[in-house]
Chains A and B, each alone.
Chain A
């Protein structure tokens, strides 16, 4: 994909797409030939239109009557894969590192590009290690429940924390992380 396209069109990195697709396969959200086709379609080295990601999110939404627990699990599974089978271990060593990794939207910027008003931000706004409290401000186009799962999965993955929960207190864009 050219730089020109990247600037004008929101795009998602293939690694994120592949992680999401693999999580869908691991959780049997898609199976059989559809699963093979889904994975074969994604080149980890390419950037994909954001619409393609949205299509995957929609596919999950259409598969379940009660989809929220599935989305949460998907986010967790994605980050478990990212940590244990992707670059995660090289980037973070403790659960809290994952939260710091989001400072200045550092994490999200590596997987989504495009106009700022479309791709938004995913930024560490508050962090208090003593209280086990952090806040992420998110204005990305991604599903918020999946993002909650991503935070839980990312913080839990190194295995040094015993408790992680993410809530949003009625403000969907304010993800409150409690960790101990």
Chain B
């Protein structure tokens, strides 16, 4: 009886029939098996120890990540407060002359849409709407920078063209360095009209039931030094002006279609008899039903001249 024959059966009592050579073979097989088990046990033990260490490191990294996330959250909350503080709040002088309503939503805690109301050196009221390229903290920092530059600019000049040119000249070097730019819509109101400069911004005037867009195609701020053009449109009691950023009209529905300027302009036109805040709400309701998800910061300002 050979070892292989015995091992194939189930009768251990027949081991005594083995030849000495087979017994030696069995001895080394058994010892070899023990050695393998010993090596494999050591290997798996080391692997197991390593896994435990890895999990402990992972736990620690998770805690560090949570701490870092908390710090970032707190910083963003402060940044958000700062950015809100930079936006205009009470506008009694503007309200005396204009009925207006504003919707401003950043996609994240802070963002790159920026608007402001001004009283120019010549006494005119003005609105500026800017959309800084990119999102988040970097765009918000550029926004704060632009606001500071605008304050200085307002002390020097007062016509929209001069203001935008001055601002562009003052900021183009820095903006090119940080590879950012900003669209601009700057509107200054006279007694029966407004003058405006449009560098990539969006706007629509509803006057006498007709739509007047003023996308004139001047360059964005921060691309290059150049002269800007200034245009003038009549603006009298009952006329409605809407200024907005691309986040609104470039939002898409489930099929991938843009909300579009045409849709917004038509909505403003058909509701232009309503108070400014209702026009704005109709626009937002329609936009809310249309869009799948907000893809960009959004600013929409609807404004109507009050009766003298």
Q: Which residues of A contact B (CB under 8 A)?
A: 63-70, 72-73, 76, 152, 161-165, 180
Is B46's CB under 8 angstroms from A70's CB?
yes
For the complex of A and B, list the 6 residue pairs with the smallest distance between their C-beta atoms, beginning with the closest. Answer: A163-B32, A69-B42, A180-B28, A162-B28, A162-B32, A163-B28
Q: Report if A73-B43 is in contact (Cβ < 8 Å); known contacts: A66-B49, A163-B35.
A: yes
A163, B31: Cβ atoms under 8 Å? yes
**Docked complex Cα distance between A152 and B42 (Å):** 15
Given A162-B25, A163-B28: A69 touches B50 (CB 8 Å cut-off): no
Further contacts, 13 of them, CB under 8 A, given A72-B39, A73-B43: A63-B50, A64-B50, A66-B49, A67-B46, A68-B46, A69-B39, A69-B45, A69-B46, A70-B50, A72-B42, A163-B35, A164-B32, A180-B31
CB of B29 within 8 A of chain A? yes
- Chain A residues with CB under 8 Å of B50's CB are 63-66, 70
Q: How far is the CA of A98 from the CA of B35 in the complex (A)?
A: 20
Counting residue pairs across A and B whose Cβ atoms lie within 8 Å, the total is 48
Among A63, A73, A180, which residue has its beta carbon within 8 angstroms of that of B39?
A73
Question: Chain A CB within 10 Å — which of B29, B35, B43 has the most?
Answer: B43
Choice from A65, A162, A180 contacting B53 with Cβ under 8 Å? A65
Which B23-58 residues sit within 8 Å CB-CB of chain A? 25, 28-29, 31-32, 35, 39, 42-43, 45-47, 49-50, 53
Q: How far is the CA of A155 from the CA of B49 in the complex (A)?
A: 29
Give every chain A residue within 8 A of B47 (Cβ-Cβ). Answer: 70
Shortest beta-carbon distance from A75 to chain B in Å: 11
Query: CA–CA, A163 to B53, complex, Å?
Result: 33
Residues B29 and A162 in contact, CB atoms below 8 Å apart: yes
Q: Residues of B within 8 Å of A, CB-based: how many?
A: 15
Find the residue from A68, A69, A73, A152 having the highest chain B CB count within 10 A.
Answer: A69
Expressed in whole angstroms, the Cα–Cα distance for A165 and B47 within the complex equals: 21
Interface bits B139-162 vs A (CB < 8 Å: 1, else 0): 000000000000000000000000
Instruction: For A72, list chain B residues within 8 Å (CB).
Output: 39, 42-43
Chain A residue with Cβ nearest B29: A162
| A165 lies within 8 A of B35 (CB) | yes
Closest residue of chain A to B26, judged by CB? Answer: A162
Q: How far is the CB of B43 from chain A (nearest CB, A)?
A: 5
Residues of B near A64 (CB, < 8 A) are 46, 49-50
Contacts of B31 in A (CB 8 A): 162-163, 180
Closest to B52 in A: A65
15 A-B pairs with CB atoms under 8 Å apart are: A64-B50, A69-B42, A72-B42, A72-B43, A73-B43, A162-B25, A162-B28, A162-B29, A162-B32, A163-B28, A163-B29, A163-B35, A165-B35, A180-B31, A180-B32
CB-based contact B43/A69 at 8 Å = yes
* CA A65 to CA B42, docked complex, whole Å: 13
Contacts of A165 in B (CB 8 A): 35
Closest Cβ of chain B: how far from A64's Cβ, in Å?
A: 5
Distance between Cα atoms of A162 and B35 in the complex (Å): 10
Report B-chain residues with C-beta under 8 Å of the C-beta of A161.
32
A63 to B47, CA, bound (A): 10
Among the listed B32, B43, B53, which residue makes an inter-chain contact with A70, where contact means beta carbons less than 8 Å apart?
Answer: B43
Contacts of B39 in A (CB 8 A): 69, 72-73, 76, 152
Q: A66 touching B32 by the CB < 8 A rule?
A: no
Smallest distance from the beta carbon of B48 to chain A beta carbons, Å? 10
Contacts of A67 in B (CB 8 A): 46
Q: Report the Cα distance A63→B39, complex, angstroms.
A: 19
